[in-house]
Structure 1
């Protein structure tokens, strides 16, 4: 017991004047690295021997983080930046657990922590390196402006600086650049790429090597529109079915216009399927099918439609172009052109026939014998050619007629 009291005294003396006391410990264990997320909690591991009269002291360089002895916490000399953020596992201390919970992590918490733990029979020192990372939310945006089509990947709350890579048809594109939106850590970044081939598929891959976390965004144009009478079906099927069990999956259908977009329908695991325009309806035949159906399309519905399926680690964009709706005026114009063409053709035929009859009358009296000869002249079939004066009209040589005048 006297040795334990002496150890307490030496510890308190060290806390008061900042001196170290590594030489009091019998063993020093290898450095352990722990990764934490900014804003969340982390456990710094430290294990000692089982037994009563446990003494625990956590430090970060010369800063006092947490102390425990006489079976209770002693935080009188604790660094104020750690106030109300450090906790021991009080019920497990006598079993050798001296680990420390550090809550609400910030960038100042990074670094190496030292755990001194001792009992009546044993003492040791443990060093723990805490590294931090952040990967709050990644999104992919598709847009059009001034005739250009582009894709943008955003990562909000990134730490440290992330890796962003673009691929086209699975081939890496070297010209992609990363731009900082905010420079104060944790930072927000974006990377933009122009869509140069609408028949290609594009991927944006963002990685945080500290957290070993990856996000993938994909973009693809789909031309497989389905028509059922007066209904048009815009396709959208989830290709990566691994994300379906996630609780945070959501789907947004929107119409893309120059510099803007309009949300048509949305889905999430919590709220289900919602439609903002009653002319649209969801396809529910398969769990991974989020196709949208439009009833009675009009010319104002022509344009591009975007399906966005997203989760924490994945985003899939599918864009479909619809240009099939005609207005009543357009259909009427086509019908008028068709009717006009038929009428003109009939008039041409009548003029030719009248002209031939007039010429034949000028060549002689209208006798039975003359009519018989004219019939022979103007009687022809698909395998015959004009004879005599009919050769002057090549137009009639292009058709199969059987005229008797």
Structure 2
């Protein structure tokens, strides 16, 4: 039995040597695969099925061959696997007898880019094929913010290096306007090797501002437009329109926000059917959402005055519309305010009269008891004031008596 095991081991080693150095058949050109950053990716490889399959996935790195995944003796052999790939690879083992040697590579990183070799061997012979991996982190979101007539467009986590362009609808040429703030674009690389891009420019109020970010074969556009201000009152209903054409759209997301930060509601349309969710803080104010996307509000207060944004997003584009809502008191509110002011004025007059009466009472001179002391509770005077008064009367009587004596 020991000799049989040794024989099998030697045969496996010989098959590996033959596979690595004396390949008998080779496919045509390399297979090119584009993998998405942080997601899983399949590297294809096939062979003529037969018994005693041997599979090796290798990657040339620094003039050496890194072992990505090995399979022989009808099981995975991972003792020689390179460290960066441990726990990240798998074969479709149930498909190997059918000639499928494809490799599943999990959690793609930028370091996974490059050329991979797939070696297969069976009783019928050996085969080599190569797969080239390119990694992309496509543009997923282009964010636009408006502050003090400066519009900022940004996107993060992109690969390869992106490009950002501005335009308007209708087109405009502001290059000869000396008061125009020139575009300012910056690109940074994060610790994963992905690109972040940011650009600012002066906002064109009379046009739709368009920001487009492109990376590789993926392009995404976001537009920003500002509507004329709306007015509303606490006693009335307000309908804020979302003037984005939706007639040709069946699947998209619609989001309403307050001051570009606070989410009011989100509505997802799948095959034209909406599914709306209103934030708890806005359930009392949101009355409904029209088929055209307009936001119906009521029971408003002054805290609801501000900028409302309607954001419509598809797989390729995002359209953002800003509308400023000014809250003005209605007729009933003005009546209540007038009553409150009048009541406050009347109360102030009464208080003033009372204070003047008290001050006058304290400055009228001696009271009916012959002195000006302020009476205590139950009309009693201070004890010391009474003693002082009696003492004064006694001294006055003695002086008079002395003068009248013969």
TM interval, short-chain normalised: 0.5 to 0.7
Q: Which of the pair has more CA radius of gyration?
A: 2
The 3 A distance-change label for structure 1 pair 254 and 120 is same
8 Å Cα contact 1:53/1:70 also seen in 2: yes
Aligned to 2:113: 110
TM-score, scaled relative to structure 1: 0.66
- Tell me which of 274, 281, 284 is aligned to 1:276: 281
* Alpha-carbon shift at residue 222 of structure 1 (Å): 2.2
- Tell me which of 78, 82, 88 is aligned to 1:79: 82
* Alpha-carbon shift at residue 324 of structure 1 (Å): 7.4
* Alpha-carbon shift at residue 253 of structure 1 (Å): 1.9
Superposed CA deviations along residues 18-52 of structure 1, whole A, max 9, x for unmatched, are xx51x322224311110111111100001111222
Superposed CA deviations along residues 330-364 of structure 1, whole A, max 9, x for unmatched, are 989xxxxxxxxxxxxxxxxxxxxxxxxxxxxxxxx
Q: 2-side partners of 1:42 and 1:309: how far apart?
A: 31
Residue 56 (structure 1) aligned with residue 55 (structure 2): yes
Q: 2-side partners of 1:181 and 1:97: how far apart?
A: 41
Q: 2-side partners of 1:57 and 1:40: how far apart?
A: 23
Superposed CA deviations along residues 93-130 of structure 1, whole A, max 9, x for unmatched, are 12111111111111221110000112222322111001
8 Å Cα contact 1:298/1:326 also seen in 2: no
Structure 1 unmatched runs, 5+: 333-405
Aligned to 2:149: 149
Q: 2-side partners of 1:224 and 1:321: how far apart?
A: 5
Aligned to 1:34: 33
* Alpha-carbon shift at residue 306 of structure 1 (Å): 2.2
What SS is found at the alignment partner of 1:138? Answer: coil
Structure 2 unmatched runs, 5+: 1-7, 176-181, 269-274, 336-406
- Tell me which of 187, 191, 196 is aligned to 1:189: 196
The 3 A distance-change label for structure 1 pair 234 and 195 is farther
- Tell me which of 232, 245, 253 is aligned to 1:239: 245
What SS is found at the alignment partner of 1:321? Answer: strand
Q: 2-side partners of 1:71 and 1:264: how far apart?
A: 55
Task: Return structure 1 stretches of 4+ with deviation > 6 angstroms.
Answer: 4-7, 226-229, 296-300
* Alpha-carbon shift at residue 79 of structure 1 (Å): 0.8
What SS is found at the alignment partner of 2:137? Answer: strand
Aligned to 1:98: 101
The 3 A distance-change label for structure 1 pair 299 and 59 is closer
8 Å Cα contact 2:162/2:197 also seen in 1: no
The 3 A distance-change label for structure 1 pair 143 and 285 is closer
8 Å Cα contact 2:183/2:201 also seen in 1: no
Deviates more, 1:223-232 or 1:124-133: 223-232
TM-score, scaled relative to structure 2: 0.65
CA RMSD of aligned residues (A): 3.6
8 Å Cα contact 1:282/1:291 also seen in 2: no
Q: 2-side partners of 1:162 and 1:106: how far apart?
A: 18
* Alpha-carbon shift at residue 225 of structure 1 (Å): 5.1
Aligned to 2:224: 219
The 3 A distance-change label for structure 1 pair 27 and 137 is closer
Aligned to 1:8: 12
